Amino acid sequence: MPGFALKVMLLRFRRMRKPLLALAAMPPRGMPLGACAAMGLLCSVACAQQADSAKTPTVVQPGAPGKPSKRLPASTRGTLPQRSPADVEFMQGMIMHHAQAVEMTAMIPSHTENKELRSLGARISSSQSDEIMFMKRWLTVRGEPIAMAMPNMDMQQHAMPLMPGMLTAEQMEALRKAKGAEFDRLFLAGMIQHHNGALTMVKELFDTAGAGQDGELFDFATDADNTQRAEIKIMQNMLEKNR
C-alpha cells in the first residue's frame, strides 16, 4: 500500500510540473520585461557562483582543543611530517634485519618436513617481504637512501654490522648445514633471537627523543612489535615440543 501511494504522488507531481514551470517563467504583473531580464541574469550569475564554490574544495584545519577550526586556501598542499635521523636509521636497519629473516625462511623447504614449521616460515617470509617493500617505499618517498650509510668504512674489507638479534655468519652456516629436527631446533632458536632483536630496535626508536612521530612509521613499528611478540610465543612452544 505505501508503494501504491508513492506512485500516485509521483504521478500528480508530474502532471503539475509543467504548469508550475510555466507560471515560474511568467514575470510578475506590472514588472517591465527589462527588469525581469535583469533579475534573470542576476539569478544566473548567483547560481553559477554557487556551482563554482561547490566545485572548489574546502580545506579545514582542525583547531587545538578549545580553539575554532580554520579555513585554508584551496591551494593548500599537505606536507610529510618531520622525521628524525633515528627514523631513517631504524627503517634502513630493519630492512637489513628483515632480509636475513627471509633468507632463513628460504631454507625451510629443503631442510625440514615439519609442516608446522613450514607454515610458520611461509607466514614470516610473506609478512616480512611485504614490510621490506613498505620500508623501501617510505625511504624513497622521503628522498632517503635505502642502504645504511657507513662512514669511514671500506665496505670491501669489512662486513656490514649486525643489527640487534641478527644471526652471525657462523650461526647462518650451522643452519644451512643442519637437517630435520636439528634444523628445526636451530631455526626456532635463531628466529626467537632474531625477533627479540627487532623488539630491541623498536624500543630504541621510541626511546629516542623526537623519533617515531611519523604516523606511518609509528603504525609499522607498533604492528611489527605486536606481531613478533606473538610469533615468539608460538616458536617457544614449538621449541619445547622438539626437546
What pLDDT shows up at residue 222? 96
pLDDT value of position 6: 52
Pick the residue with more confidence: 239 or 63? Answer: 239
The residues pairing with 71 across neighbouring beta strands, listed in sequence order, are 60
Domain interval for residue 104: 85-146+165-242
What pLDDT, on the 0 to 100 scale, is given for residue 45? Answer: 45
Determine, yes or no, domain membership for 200: yes
How far is residue 114 from each of residues 22, 182, 231, measured CA to CA in Å? 83, 11, 17
Helix axes 85-106, 215-242, angle to 10 degrees: 30
Q: How many other CB atoms are there within 10 angstroms of residue 80's CB atom?
A: 10
pLDDT of residue 68: 80
Higher pLDDT, 183 or 42: 183
Which tens digits make up the pLDDT trace of 76-109?
666 655 668 999 999 999 999 999 999 999 999 9
pLDDT digits (tens, 9 = 90+) for 144-188: 999 987 655 444 444 556 899 999 999 999 999 999 999 999 999
Q: Is residue 124 part of a domain?
A: yes
As for how many domains the chain has, the answer is: 1
Q: Which of 54, 124, 53, 135 is nearest to 92 (CA)?
A: 135
Claim: this prediction has a pTM higher than 0.75: no
For residue 105, what is the domain's CATH number? 1.20.1260.10
The answer, yes or no, to whether residue 34 has pLDDT greater than 80, is no
The band of 242, judged by pLDDT with boundaries at 50, 70 and 90, is: confident
pLDDT at 24: 46
* 49 in a structural domain: no
Please give the grid coordinates belonging to residue 197.
632483536
Average pLDDT over residues 136-146: 96
Is residue 78 in a domain?
no
- The answer to whether residue 35 sits within a structural domain is no
The answer to the question of residue 104 being in a domain is: yes
Whether 99 is covered by a domain: the verdict is yes
Q: Is residue 204 part of a domain?
A: yes
